[in-house]
Every structure is written in structure tokens, then in C-alpha cells.
Homo-oligomer: A and B are copies of this chain.
Amino acid sequence: MSPMTAIEIQQRAIQMLQEDADKILKLIEVQLDNLTMPQCPLYEEVLDTQMFGLSREIDFAVRLKLIQEDTGRRILSELERKLSKLNR
């Protein structure tokens, strides 16, 4: 397999970040299904840790000029929007 071109790396970066965001959403959905009360500290901690991890990946991709800053912001805000819907 020939090495990826810069454009392919950039496309793959966006795709991976979106997949990571979707994984967090899935993780939280499963947690909420199994939790009696979503305010339980562990749930908050898992969510904060995962969001912090994703934001560091996005920051790294932006600094490496693989994605635009607003693309990163969109991925995060879209995830936060979906998560807030889950919490209602």
C-alpha cells in the first residue's frame, strides 16, 4: 500500500475524529441505559475524561494543520448537542 498523500492524511484525520466523537456518544448512551441516575459522579467523570481526550486530539490535528479550527469546533459542539439531548 503506497504511503498516504497529505490530502488523504487530512481526510483520514477528520474521519477519525468524527469516529472518536461517535464512540463517545455510543459510550455515554450505553452508560445512560445502565445508570439509574445520570447525575452519578462516575458518569460525569467518564464524560469529562473522554471529552478532554477528544479535545486534545482535535487540538493536535489543528496545530498540525490537518483540519481547520472551525471543523474541530463543529465536531465538538455537535457531540455536545447530541449529548445534551441524551440527558433530557
Q: In the complex, what's the smallest C-beta–C-beta distance from A59 to chain B, in angstroms? A: 8
- Let me know if A16 and B60 touch, CB within 8 A: yes
Q: Is the interface of A mostly helix, strand, loop or mixed?
A: helix
Q: Does A46 contact B (CB under 8 A)?
A: no
Interface size on A, residues (CB 8 A): 21
CA distance A85 to B60 in the complex (A): 28
- Collect the chain B residues with CB atoms within 8 Å of residue A66's CB: 9, 64
Nearest CB in chain B: distance from A70 CB, A:
18
* 20 contacts across the A-B interface (CB closer than 8 A): A3-B6, A4-B65, A6-B9, A9-B64, A9-B65, A9-B66, A12-B64, A13-B64, A16-B60, A16-B63, A16-B64, A49-B52, A52-B52, A53-B53, A53-B56, A54-B56, A56-B56, A56-B57, A57-B60, A60-B61
